[in-house]
Structure 1
């Protein structure tokens, strides 16, 4: 797995990268300070110690959180009792990682034939839970969160997180329903100035207090680690939440329509097994070696179970807890949304299709004028994918009182 191996940077590139990052750091810090002055407020100060992701294989668990070194308060006595029954720890217990490769796999014929790009993933896919660099055990401490917005991001995508916070990811209460937001991050990938980037993300978290960060490298194959580590984290710290929206930082989410969908499912008493999104059925692994989603036959050679596009989906907390249980026995897979489909299959459940979730955009043709038509966004729930500037613009237009759509728009 990529996170256990880092290459030495070329001598000539290092100073150039450092200079570029210093300039970018100044810009980002300036923006963060402006946000701080605008009343977002600085959260509790963190311990100054920092250990780069290059030393995570022997690091003690010194987790930064908005409540210092104390553990999250217990929400309810019955939740604490339930943790004892199901074996869930009361706090994050992955404090030290010393995960060596599974050398026995190298002796198998299928591994010798396997595309080398997947070697590290296969050798280390038993490495499942990682130490936390930033934690917020207090996020759900009041026990009254209706909807938790969980957003996958990487350190460099500061502008996207800013746009989400100003739009659909804003922490607020709507019609008595409390909404909280968290961003899921790993560590900077190989070839980046990890120390400066880490300090920047810690500074950002001091302002907003909405980042969860684990000590594994933020690579495409490691997106599945965000799934399993979050599911475990959720069972420890946020079991009282009723619903979870999980998506990318480049989607548009119509919060009103999302809450309306939840309300309908609750009224119909169809919320216990709720897992809804842009469902993909009868898919097979992609064999094109140039594709981002390429999977060799040696790794997986049968049709995929039904799954939802990872750009954005909604699930109940009850189902999230059951997903965590089955995920622990499910072998990790390098495509995160397919992995969740495999876990659902183990529960003998299928994801529910909803036309309001457009994780491939309104149309697959990027240049289509429909992809920028506000009336579509007003009636949909999730649209993928938008830049930070596009998200801010569309959010502003869709919420305008003078926006008139002649009839309910559909495609």
Structure 2
């Protein structure tokens, strides 16, 4: 009995001594595990500040990282490239002493660094080998943005009138190809004529008598390496440029995926050569533009309150919002999900878009922080979103032509600013009709703008 009581006392003593110790040990173990897990979660998160307001450091506008339109944690090739760049553009990382040139240089080096890091990954090499041949070819040179100029205009900023005595109002920058000689010639004779262009006057507004502006023109070309190329084509282009002074050609292969290069190289050229040019029309060589109406419309935009501020991000066209990549392999817009995952930012498509000269220079700088994308209109939308800006939708930019009920409408072409897909012969005919009916159709308004709400936020 005494022995039993002794064992009970010993057990109670051990419980009194060991229980607090065991509880303390369990507590520290739990705490250590919790802290470790928290640190792992924090370190795995992208160190990017999501903001809808541009940050400033020493009066320099830093790249804005808006709510991401592409899937941030996707293993798709472009997503991984851009994620590596975006991590470095957290405004917290910038010191007050950094200037714009340092930021732009940082963007250049990061684009190259991220490209070679991602393409050297073992699993990524295998993924790239599975891409369609055209996409593989594009990836092989998509990090390159510097190409020699083969032909350039005689004048600083494209073809112009000899006696131009005012700031150029608009530069028509038209994407063309070596073989499209008829398209270029039709544009020169119609809506793309250089010199002073009178805006479309309204009979009830006397002030519009003075509305007009100087137009300049440049055609943007790459090098056609197809089987249809002629050995003498380069000499013909040089002769064409000697006569008209409006050819700007770079030494890269002129393919659909390389159209994005025409944007970034043009922005660079424009920033160096075009000074105070107010507006840029960037479009294809198979569109019809109502130039007098466009000039009147842009003058109206300049007269609006706070125009000096809004011109910093002014872009107008047929805006497509929340579009998804085309996954059909037969489409020329086909982008496999192994290359890109996510939605597209809002962008202006349809063959033509107008933006301010100020915005063109801003796009030149910000494009150095965005990896090239094989669809040019989408890439411009990506750069716009990076500037925390959105294009303006206007129904007078027609992507898909007129509807059947519109065809018989009188003064039809006086209601639009641009319509896509017109042949050289149609351009000549339409321009003649536009001039012929200018008086009787002078008061016909443009297609009424429809409020089109576009958000910087991706859809849930």
Query: Normalising by structure 2, what TM-score?
Result: 0.63
Q: Pick from 375, 379, 394: which aligns with 2:430?
A: 394
Q: Distance in 2 between matches of 1:106 and 1:250?
A: 44
1:104 aligns to 2:120 (yes or no): yes
SS at match of 1:162: helix
Structure with the bigger percentage of helix: 2
Aligned residues: 313
| Cα drift, residue 122 of structure 1 | 1.1
SS at match of 1:240: coil
Q: Pick from 232, 239, 243: which aligns with 2:279?
A: 243
Q: Distance in 2 between matches of 1:233 and 1:373?
A: 42
* Contact 2:129–2:136 (8 Å) recurs in 1: no
Q: Which has the larger radius of gyration?
A: 2
1:233 aligns to 2:250 (yes or no): no
Q: Pick from 285, 293, 316: which aligns with 1:276?
A: 316
| Cα drift, residue 177 of structure 1 | 1.7
Q: Distance in 1 between matches of 2:380 and 2:406?
A: 30
Taking the TM superposition and a 5 Å limit, the aligned residue runs for 1:76-155 are 86=101, 104=120, 108=124, 109-136=126-153, 138-140=155-157, 144-155=167-178
CA RMSD of aligned residues (A): 2.7
Q: Distance in 1 between matches of 2:168 and 2:408?
A: 33
SS at match of 1:133: strand
Q: Pick from 174, 191, 200: which aligns with 1:168?
A: 191
1:316 aligns to 2:356 (yes or no): yes
| Cα drift, residue 369 of structure 1 | 7.1
| Cα drift, residue 275 of structure 1 | 0.4
- 1:92 aligns to what? none
Change in 2 beyond 3 A, CA 1:393/1:295? same
- 2:56 aligns to what? none
* Contact 2:170–2:281 (8 Å) recurs in 1: yes
Q: Distance in 2 between matches of 1:392 and 1:252?
A: 10
Q: Pick from 378, 384, 401: which aligns with 1:361?
A: 401
* Contact 2:311–2:359 (8 Å) recurs in 1: no
* Contact 1:140–1:237 (8 Å) recurs in 2: yes
| Cα drift, residue 305 of structure 1 | 0.3
**Structure 1 regions of 5+ residues with no counterpart?**
1-83, 89-100
Change in 2 beyond 3 A, CA 1:324/1:407? closer
Q: Pick from 415, 419, 433: which aligns with 1:379?
A: 415
* Contact 2:401–2:419 (8 Å) recurs in 1: yes
**Structure 2 regions of 5+ residues with no counterpart?**
1-98, 104-114, 159-163, 198-210, 449-460
| Cα drift, residue 335 of structure 1 | 0.4
* Contact 1:129–1:225 (8 Å) recurs in 2: no
- 2:15 aligns to what? none
Q: Distance in 2 between matches of 1:303 and 1:203?
A: 44
Q: Distance in 2 between matches of 1:146 and 1:284?
A: 35
- 2:107 aligns to what? none
